Amino acid sequence: MITLKDIAAAVKGDLIGDGDIPIDGIAGIQNAVGGKISFLTYGSYLKFVPECKASALIIGRKIPLADIRAVKNLIVVDNPELAYISVATMFQESPVIKPGIHPTASISDTAVIAPDASVGAFACIEDNARIDDNVTIYPYVYVGRNVTIGESSILYPHVTVYRDTSIGRNVIIHANTVIAADGFGYTWDGAKHAKIPQIGSVVIEDDVEIGANTAIDRASLEKTVIGKGTKIDNLVQIAHNVTIGQNSIIVSQVGIAGSTRIGNNVVLAGQAGVRDHVTVGDRVMAGGGTGITKDVPAGSIIWGTPHMPHKDWIKLQIYIKKLPALFERIKQLEKKLSAEDTDD
C-alpha cells in the first residue's frame, strides 16, 4: 500500500494534511475520484479544484494555498511535472520479462548475448552482434551483424537495426523503427541514377529514446550520430551523416537532410525541415513547420519558411492578416486616381 506520506517523501515535497491516507493511482484533476492523487501544474486549472474528488493534490509553490480550500490533502513541490514522473513511476506496472532466448529466435553462433538479456519470439540476431546485460529484445526484432546494444536498452517489436550500428545504454527504440538503412544517395550518370554506396554506420549514444516508425540512415562515410539523452518522436526522418547533439528534442514528422549538424539542447517542433549541410547551433528552438535553409546561430528562436527570427515571423503574420484590407485600399485609390485622370 502506498500512502500520501510515501509519495511526499518520493517527490521531496511538503505534506499538508493526512499522510496516512492510501493512494491507489493517479488521475486528471477533472476525472479523479477518491483514492487517487492528481496534479495542479497551471493556474488555469484552478477552476476545476472546487469539484475535484481526488484524495490529494500535488501543486507547485506558485499556486496560492488559499485557492485550494476544496482539497485538504496537499503536497507542495518546486516542479509538479518532475513530481509527476516520480509518482507515475511508483504506480507504473512494468511488464514481466524473463531473461533468456525464446526457442523460435534465430541467433548466430558468433553472436554474444548476456545471460540476463531477453530475446523474444522470432527475433533474429546476426553474426558478431553483442547484446549486453538486461537488454530486452521484443519479438520480431532484427539485429544485423556487428551491432552492439548496451545494457538495459529496449527494442520493441519489429525494430530493424542494420549492420555495424552501435546502440548505447538505456536506449529505448519503439516499434517499427529502422536504424541504419542506406542513406538516400544517388548521382546521375547520364542515363540513370547511380547509387552511391553507403558504407558508414550509426551511433546511438546512452539514454536516447526513439519513437515508432522513425528512420535513421547510416552514413555514406563515417557516422550518423544521435547524442546522449536526445529524444526523438514518432515518424521522424534523419538522413545520412547527420549529427545530433546531446539532450535535443526532435518532434514528430521532422525531416533532417544529409550531413546536417544539430547542436545540444535543440528543439525542432513538429514538421520542421532542415536542408542538407546546415549547422543548427546549441539551444536553438524552431517552431512547428519551420523550414531551416541555412546555418542558425546558437540560442536562436526561429519560425517560418524560410526560417526567420520568431519576432519577425510574428510581425509577418500580422502583415499577412492586413493584406486583404490593404488590397482593398489600393483598389479604392486606383479608382480615385482613374476618376481624376478622366476628369482631367
Q: Which residues are catalytic?
A: 240
Report the distance separating Cα 208 and Cα 248, nearest Å. Answer: 10
Tell the residue number behind the cell numbers 525542432, with chain if given: 268
Q: Concatenate the DSSP letters of all residues of 157-210 into one string.
A: TT-EE-TTEEE-TT-EE-TT-EEEEPP--EEE-SSSEEEPP---EEEE-TT-EE
Going by the DSSP 8-state scheme, the letter that residue 334 receives in this structure is H
- Residue entry with cell 538479456: 117
Q: Which distant-in-sequence residues (6+ apart) come within 8 Å of 239 by Cβ?
A: 183, 184, 217, 224, 255, 256, 257, 258, 259, 260, 276
Helices then strands (H, E): number in the chain?
A: 3, 40
Which residues, at least 6 apart from 276, have a Cβ–Cβ distance to it below 8 Å?
239, 257, 258, 259, 260
Task: Give CA–CA dist 317/313, Å, rounded.
Answer: 6
Handedness of CA 300, 303, 305, 311 (dihedral sign): negative
DSSP category for residue 70:
T
Determine contact, residues 58/77, Cβ cutoff 8 Å. yes
Smallest Cα–Cα separation from 210: which of 274, 126, 154? 154
Collapsed DSSP state (helix, strand, coil) of residue 137: strand
User: For residues 167 and 153, is the Cβ–Cβ distance under 8 A?
Assistant: yes
User: Cα dihedral sign for 26, 32, 38, 44?
Assistant: positive
Return d(Cα 115, Cα 101) in angstroms, integer.
Answer: 9
- What is the sign of the dihedral through the CA atoms of 31, 37, 41 and 43? positive
